[in-house]
């Protein structure tokens, strides 16, 4: 079996996925890698949200990732990315399903994702996945104690 036909394997995200994840995300327009996206940052996020994020692997190579967490009230997803060679095969849908099921097991029934307005694939995906685009809210943000790209 060659790498092209090898099955896709999904598993919970681990801190040591960082190098492969950051490479995948940096290659994807629409995913904004920030100062928060350090190895320590991923480790901290996973320690606070164990078992909620997932990756997809093919032939031992990381080809998809989705970070998921919650604050005790709402779920939040970050950095959904699928390798360009593996798109339109349902990988993103499968990652989202795993994350939402894990959040649901923790009693979290409403989850948010930020998508850049000019990210056509991203917007197309979330719409197709059945998510409701919010036009009734604005997101306000502040940076305090970090760099401009915090
Ligand atoms: C967006 C992205 C994660 C989708 O991954 P994927 O594995 O190809 O998505 P799926 O195969 O699960 O797609 C499910 C459905 O979503 C919709 N969809 C997926 N990609 C789409 C695109 N580029 N344009 C419009 N609709 C799209 C389709 O309806 C698709 O079903 P179909 O293939 O039967 O038509 C992937 O294109 C990607 O990594 N893009 C770069 C990073 C990015 O923008 N991430 C999103 C940040 S919010």
Domains detected in the chain: 8-128 (3.40.630.30)
Task: List the beta bridge partners of residue 81.
Answer: 65
Cβ of 117 below 6 Å from ligand 1: no
DSSP, collapsed to helix, strand or coil, labels residue 85 as: helix
Q: Within 10 Å of residue 128's Cβ, how many Cβ atoms?
A: 10
| Centre of ligand 1 from the C-alpha of residue 66, in Å | 13
| Centre of ligand 1 from the C-alpha of residue 23, in Å | 19
Cβ of 90 below 6 Å from ligand 1: yes
Residues 129-144: pLDDT tens digits?
Answer: 999 999 999 999 999 9
pLDDT the model gives residue 103: 98
| Centre of ligand 1 from the C-alpha of residue 124, in Å | 7
For the record, the structure tokens of 141 come out as: 């943000």
Q: How far apart are CA 66 and CA 148, in angstroms?
A: 24
Of 94, 79, 10, nearest in space to 51 by CA: 10
Cβ of 92 below 6 Å from ligand 1: yes
pLDDT the model gives residue 53: 98
Cβ of 81 below 6 Å from ligand 1: yes
For the record, the structure tokens of 35 come out as: 């100062």
Cβ of 24 below 6 Å from ligand 1: no
Rg for the chain (alpha carbons), in Å? Answer: 15
Q: Which residue lies with its CA nearest to atom 19 of ligand 1? A: 125
Residue-by-residue pLDDT tens, the chain, 150 positions:
666 789 999 999 999 999 999 999 999 998 999 999 999 999 999 999 999 999 999 999 999 999 999 999 999 999 999 999 999 999 999 999 999 999 999 999 999 999 999 999 999 999 999 999 999 999 999 999 988 899
Task: Judge residue 145's burial from the number of C-beta atoms within 10 Å of its C-beta, 0-12 exposed, 13-18 middle, 19 or more buried.
Answer: exposed
pLDDT the model gives residue 1: 60
Q: Are strands 111-113 and 75-82 parallel, antiparallel or unpaired?
A: parallel
For the record, the structure tokens of 66 come out as: 């989705």
Cβ of 88 below 6 Å from ligand 1: yes
């Amino acid at each position: 079996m060659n790498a092209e036909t090898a099955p896709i394997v999904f598993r919970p995200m681990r801190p040591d996925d960082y190098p492969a994840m950051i490479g995948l995300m940096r290659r994807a327009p629409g995913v904004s890698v920030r100062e928060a996206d350090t190895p320590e940052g991923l480790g901290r996020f996973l320690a606070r949200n164990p078992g909620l994020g997932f990756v997809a692997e093919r032939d031992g190579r990381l080809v998809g990732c989705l970070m998921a967490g919650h604050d005790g009230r709402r779920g939040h997803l970050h950095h959904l990315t699928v390798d360009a060679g593996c798109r339109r095969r349902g990988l993103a849908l499968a990652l989202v399903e795993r994350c939402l099921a894990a959040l649901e097991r923790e009693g979290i029934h409403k989850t948010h994702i930020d998508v850049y307005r000019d990210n056509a694939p991203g917007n197309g995906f979330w719409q197709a996945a059945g998510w409701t685009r919010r036009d009734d809210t604005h997101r306000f943000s502040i940076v305090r104690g970090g760099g401009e790209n915090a």
